Structure 1
């Protein structure tokens, strides 16, 4: 347990406040823009393809969770029938990632949800979230949960709350900076100072 006050972060690391959110019932669908997008399930995706999309979507926000997983473990995870990976496509181009994890009984974790930079602000996020919620609750779950952090898009937390998620817990995450470990380019997420 952290005591009140400021706490140093080791050089070469990032620190973020993580907010956990949940919904325990299917919310009313929010109004979405009419967009010509396609959401495609990708059963047992090729790990190289998956990591390429993961970086494309997540590098601006320093996503590193899947980049530190050993290749054999990642292949196992992506091959698990209870992990549902979907790709959002715009005119044939991969522009978004949706990963729903049903490995806990009666629950679904919104493990990864994001868009490429060019799609942010177009209404594609609402379009994708409406489908994520429908896909999750179609599986007879009792709880749908997600977490976001202060390294994510500044509107992410409010977006999840508007979507029907309620915050229930906060944590501090300290991790090696993925730009310094070589997992992401050094110029990723320029809004987060690189402190070696």
Structure 2
């Protein structure tokens, strides 16, 4: 979920065939998806047991705690390695929206939308707590994304998912109306090796040192 979609000299096209990944690094297979209009019939729906609240100016400690709770098992790391100053500036941008899903008064999910590109919205982060997976909370939350994003004057809503995410993530996004348009590979430090994340998280992804 954290790969820039621009291909450049620093992000070249990979050669055909196998490419060796150095030990201590991870190769992340990314699928980029988009939608050009809100799907017909998409509705926010009602879930009296769930509520969504926007963080007007997120406290970075609270934000990082939620970020870890939702994304640690799926290797979300970019916000954890940002400096306090950079993260404060990012979250303080009026064109960045962070919304928190509550269940029984407990933070149980989050979404982050980036409207800084004119006419577009990136769904930067999206997820629910592990105990909410399979309850319909994710479906409710993505419907909220569609309602919020398409209430703005945009022509494109996009995101990226990867093989670090829940195994049903790609199918979920496609059923929600997103269409795949590109594949990317990101090579980065394994955050469990660098100590950013505990070594016990994301056991579905092996550590190679």
Question: TM-score surpassing 0.5?
Answer: yes
Q: Distance in 2 between matches of 1:85 and 1:98?
A: 6
Q: Distance in 2 between matches of 1:32 and 1:181?
A: 42
Say if 2:104 is the partner of 1:91: yes
Residue 26 of structure 1: aligned partner: 38
Residue 184 of structure 1: aligned partner: 197
Query: What secondary structure sits across from 1:9 in the alignment?
Result: coil
- Pairs aligned (count): 196
Q: Deviations over 1:50-78 (max 9, x none)?
A: 01100101111111121121110100000
Residue 78 of structure 1: aligned partner: 91
Q: Deviations over 1:17-50 (max 9, x none)?
A: 1111000001131696845101000011001100
Query: What secondary structure sits across from 1:153 in the alignment?
Result: coil
> If the length of structure 2 is used for normalisation, what is the TM-score?
0.90
Q: Distance in 2 between matches of 1:139 and 1:49?
A: 27
Once structures 1 and 2 are overlaid, which stretch shifts more, 61-70 or 127-136? Answer: 61-70
Q: Distance in 1 between matches of 2:140 and 2:85?
A: 33
Say if 2:130 is the partner of 1:117: yes
Query: What secondary structure sits across from 2:145 in the alignment?
Result: helix
Are the equivalent residues in 1 in contact too, given 2:32–2:161 (CA < 8 A)? yes
Are the equivalent residues in 1 in contact too, given 2:44–2:144 (CA < 8 A)? no
Counterpart of 1:156 (choices 160, 164, 169) is 169
| Structure 2 unpaired stretches of 5+ | 1-12
**What's the CA shift for 1:194?**
1.0
> If the length of structure 1 is used for normalisation, what is the TM-score?
0.96
* Distance change (3 Å), C-alpha of 1:113 and 1:94: same
> Map of 1:33-52 to 2, 5 A cutoff?
34=47, 36-52=49-65
| Structure 1 unpaired stretches of 5+ | none
Are the equivalent residues in 2 in contact too, given 1:59–1:188 (CA < 8 A)? yes
